[in-house]
Amino acid sequence: MILPLRLENVSFRDILKLLSLEIGAGPSTIILGANGAGKSVLMRLMHGLLAPSTGSVSWQGNDPGRRQAMVFQRPVMLRRSAYANVAYALKVAGVPAKERERLAEEALEEVGLRQVAHRAARVLSGGEQQRLALARAWALHPEVLFLDEPTANLDPGATREIETIIKAFDAAGTKIVMSTHNLGQARRLGDEVLYLHEGRVVERAPIERFFAQPASPEARAFIKGELPWV
Amino acid sequence: MLDDPRLWQIVALSLGVSLSAVAIATLMGMPLGAAIAVGRFPGRQALIVVLNALMGLPPVVVGLFIYLLLSRAGPLGELGLLFTPQAMVIAQTVLVLPIIAALARQSVEDAWREYEEQLRSLGVHGLRGALTVLWDIRFSLLTAVLAGLGRASAEVGAVMIVGGNIDGVTRVMTTTIALETSKGDLPLALGLGIVLMAIVLALNAAAYLVKEAAQRRFG
């Protein structure tokens, strides 16, 4: 167990300001906020890609590296087959060669890419590449999965497929931490909302209450402004 | 002229020397360039400037430097390599290495911007990241290899000094052209010049086709 994840007085340049919060196992956490609120930076700090300017980010366990994964808005695929991309991630994670094949095939099966496993990853469609990014994460069976606007560049059909896979992660016991601009998606996938405004968490609430009765004026304005375009 | 066996011996030696030098410089220069691209260490910027400047090394200076190293009185004189094809390979390797390393450094650095976050997220660090990116952009790096090959096959100064242009031993296309021109045998010089350009063109065409096919296949 690497959760809970604790952030204490975390600042990052002038983007995040003295943020303290705890991410525990269980409910899927959706990070909402306007562009520039600091969502992506917060996720990168939690994932370990960025180091905080002040404060500390700490996990329960000693080596969270292998137990947490991240899926980006635009996944980067290596110029090799879809299968080889998953196998590469497993190799880096130190999985023995014998197990890699089984785990990679299992993961590709899970995201529905088994039939294109031996096609070059870079020639797959945007939706397929994002599913492949999820397969790469799935193969590692992470305890926590960070997703940074994973469907921002995708059409509704591809978005539904991605959402189905994210639900499967949740069902398999992986903690989901996701940022999105799609409030419908937030409601479909989330259990609680972290609302960021200008580098601060101004509200944290169960999803239904957040949308029905936002406590902060910033969140109220955000929901009012965003909802007509859901 | 074309049925002269000596001509083909000269062509074969030219190709042998230049391709060997480029192969060695590629094996050394690619990882070196990638390491500089991905690494963060003091003096890195100065190293990049020096490496880029070394792309303009004058062949005669490299020839002189290797000559001093390999001459009887030089530190590596005991090896007895001066005026042998091996000495020519060494000189051309020194000449080509900065070109391949500098161009690889730039390509890997550009690609690294795209890959870094994803690779670090997967837990890839340091040398492994550099080698992964190097392998991933290998077909783009063909251009760096071709630039090196162009330099090696075109230069006269270095092979002339360390090879000595000995008939049947270290005489290559460029040194023959220089010699025949000064002797006044312009048809032979011109003929060799055409052969040299045809070979360079053929190698570039082959590399281009490989790169195109790979891009269609791997995206």
Between chain A and chain B, how many beta carbons pairs sit less than 8 Å apart? 44
* H runs (alpha helix) in chain B: 5-38, 44-54, 59-70, 85-122, 126-136, 142-154, 157-163, 173-183, 186-218
- Of A66, A72, A136, which has the smallest distance from its Cβ to B117's Cβ? A72
Confidence of residue B146 (pLDDT cuts 50, 70, 90): very high
B132 at A interface, C-beta within 8 A? yes
Name every residue whose Cβ is closer than 8 Å to that of residue A4 and which is 6 or more positions away in sequence.
Answer: A22, A23, A24, A25, A60
Nearest CB to B115: which of A69, A76, A89? A76
Question: How high is the pLDDT of residue A60?
Answer: 85
Query: Of A169, A188, A186, which Cα lies nearest the Cα of A131?
Result: A169
Q: Is the pLDDT of residue A228 over 60?
A: no
What mean pLDDT comes out for the span B76-89?
Answer: 95
- Tell which of A92, A140, A177 to mutate to test the B interface (max B CBs under 10 Å): A92
Domain boundaries, chain B: 5-218
Residue A34: its H or E element: none
pTM above 0.90, yes or no: no
Q: What structural domains and CATH numbers belong to chain A?
A: 5-229 (3.40.50.300)
Q: Is A11 helix (H, G, I), strand (E, B) or coil?
A: strand
Cβ contact, residue pair B117, A93, below 8 Å = no
Torsion of CA A146, A151, A156, A157, to 10 degrees: -70
β-bridge mates for residue A120, sequence order = A81
CB < 8 Å to B137, chain A: 79
Per-residue pLDDT tens digits for A171-208: 999 999 999 999 999 999 999 999 999 999 999 999 99
Query: What's the order of all strands across the beta sheet hosting A192-197?
Result: A68-71, A144-148, A175-179, A29-32, A192-197, A200-206
Q: How confident is the model at residue B2 (pLDDT cuts 50, 70, 90)?
A: low
A79 contacts in chain B (CB < 8 Å): 136-137, 218-219
Tokens of A137: 């994460």
Q: Are A120 and B218 in contact (CB under 8 A)?
A: yes
Record: contact A120-B217, CB cut-off 8 A? yes
The two tokens of residue B46 are: 């100065």
Average pLDDT in the B114-131 region?
Answer: 92
DSSP assignment letter at A174: P
CA nearest to A140 within chain B? B122
The answer to whether A65 contacts chain B (CB < 8 Å) is yes
Report yes or no: A222 at the B interface, CB cutoff 8 Å: no
User: B5-218, which class in CATH?
Assistant: mainly alpha
Is it the case that residue B191 has pLDDT exceeding 50? yes
Beta-carbon separation of B120 and A49 below 8 A: yes
Round to whole Å and give the CA distance between A103 and B77: 58
Q: What is the mean pLDDT of residues B165-179?
A: 94
**Separation CA A162–CA A168 (nearest Å):** 10
What HEC string does A134-165 produce?
HHHHHHCCCCEEEEECCCCCCCHHHHHHHHHH
B45 touches A: beta carbon within 8 Å = no
